[in-house]
Structure 1
Amino acid sequence: MVSAQWLLLTYKVPPEPAAKRIALWRKLKGMGAIYLQNGVCLLPENADHRRRLKMLENDISAMGGEALILAMNALDRSQEDKVIARFNADRDEQYREFLGRCAGFEAEIAKEIAKAKFTYAELEEEDADLRKLQAWLDKIRRLDFYGAALAGEAAERLAACEALLDGYAKRVFDAHDENR
């Protein structure tokens, strides 16, 4: 039984100015849309996506373009699985990038520990970097409509980064207590 429902947006916009076309693409990708081909994208059907696509339809018209929004479902389970796999592949790509940034965060903390740089200024900087990682993972999760494979690994890695920063913070606090 096919159960997923999607919104299909097809659009055609003038090639210039390119900045408007790129902004449209960014908005759609920021919503978690997958592109089936140029000017044809898909999103899971929900009230938020309906509203946002209708707003984009107005933007497209203002650009001198044309847009069509259709509600649809897959012909069979095999087709549905292919679409869901495309959504998950996009999310896993984002999770992989996130995991790479986590590795960078871990390396930065290790470098500061190796240099014994236990300052409040450095702790504030690392804390700000961790908050960026947390916000980024939240954004990816909001777009992970079908439970991509790397979601769990990303959550575990963020938890490890949080624990690492807690350990670094303790060293900073201990270093400043020793200096008193």
Structure 2
Amino acid sequence: MADEQQAEGRRQWLVLIYRVPSEPTRLRAAVWRRIKGLGAIYLQNSVAARPHAPGAERAFRTLRKEIVDMGGTAQLLITEVLAGEVDIENQFNAARDDEYEEILDKCNDFLAQIQKEYDAEHFTYAELEENDEDLTKLRNWFDKVRARDVLSATGREAVAGALSRCEEVLEEYAARVYAEEGEK
């Protein structure tokens, strides 16, 4: 049935409508973080949405239960947009592009850090290991955002290219570390 709806251009959306107690404020912050982590967007205060997917539905159901358990109220809907879907899709893609932009900024920081190592002539295994860990974090972050990017936001390709560049630069740096450490 979902395939038929997609063929007709009708996408199903998960919509979470909730209310959490005003105190303690950490509850609101926790719900907000979870919603963002699921890749949902806010249609208005306390109304979050994202394209339907089985994994997302399970996560939204779990979040709904947590909200109720903390003394709040929550309803979870699966719906189609009758009017304004392009606006919602654009908002969803803009949220992903914002995340991709953050990763792109961190890729540029990574490249600047490698250049700093060259400038300071720090060619050690410790520096290489630290930079390798940083690149792993960037890749993992990208994987998480890409998993939420079910509508293929435009920023994905730029980040994929930037990560490839980071990998190339790290490999060049590693070769230099091996050469320098081998001489000692």
TM bucket, shorter chain: over 0.9
SS at match of 2:131: helix
Number of paired residues?
177
- Give the unaligned 5+ runs of structure 2: 1-7
| Contact 2:20–2:27 under 8 Å retained in 1 | no
SS at match of 2:150: coil
Q: Deviations over 1:66-121 (max 9, x none)?
A: 11111111114xx2211111111001101111111111100010011111111111
Residue equivalent to 1:121: 126
Tell me the percent identity. Answer: 44
Residue equivalent to 1:56: 63
Note the C-alpha offset of 1:170.
Answer: 0.2
Taking structure 1 as the reference length, the TM-score comes to 0.94
Residue equivalent to 2:93: 88
Residue equivalent to 1:153: 158
Distance (whole Å) between structure 1 residues aligned to residue 155 and residue 61 of structure 2: 32
Work out whether 1:168 is the aligned partner of 2:173: yes
Note the C-alpha offset of 1:23.
Answer: 0.6
Point out 4+ residue stretches in structure 1 off by more than 4 angstroms.
none
Residue equivalent to 2:136: 131
Distance (whole Å) between structure 1 residues aligned to residue 19 and residue 86 of structure 2: 27
SS at match of 1:41: strand
SS at match of 2:14: strand
| Contact 1:5–1:72 under 8 Å retained in 2 | yes
- Give the unaligned 5+ runs of structure 1: none
Distance (whole Å) between structure 2 residues aligned to residue 151 and residue 68 of structure 1: 32
| Contact 2:15–2:77 under 8 Å retained in 1 | yes
Note the C-alpha offset of 1:52.
Answer: 1.6
Distance (whole Å) between structure 1 residues aligned to residue 30 and residue 103 of structure 2: 23
Taking structure 2 as the reference length, the TM-score comes to 0.92
| Contact 1:53–1:69 under 8 Å retained in 2 | yes
Distance (whole Å) between structure 1 residues aligned to residue 9 and residue 82 of structure 2: 8
SS at match of 1:147: coil
Work out whether 1:4 is the aligned partner of 2:1: no
Q: Please report the RMSD computed on the Cα atoms of aligned residues, expressed in angstroms.
A: 1.1
Task: Kindly report which structure 2 residues correspond to 1:32-43, keeping only aligned pairs within 5 A, or say none.
Answer: 32-43=39-50
| Contact 1:87–1:145 under 8 Å retained in 2 | no
Distance (whole Å) between structure 2 residues aligned to residue 115 and residue 70 of structure 1: 56
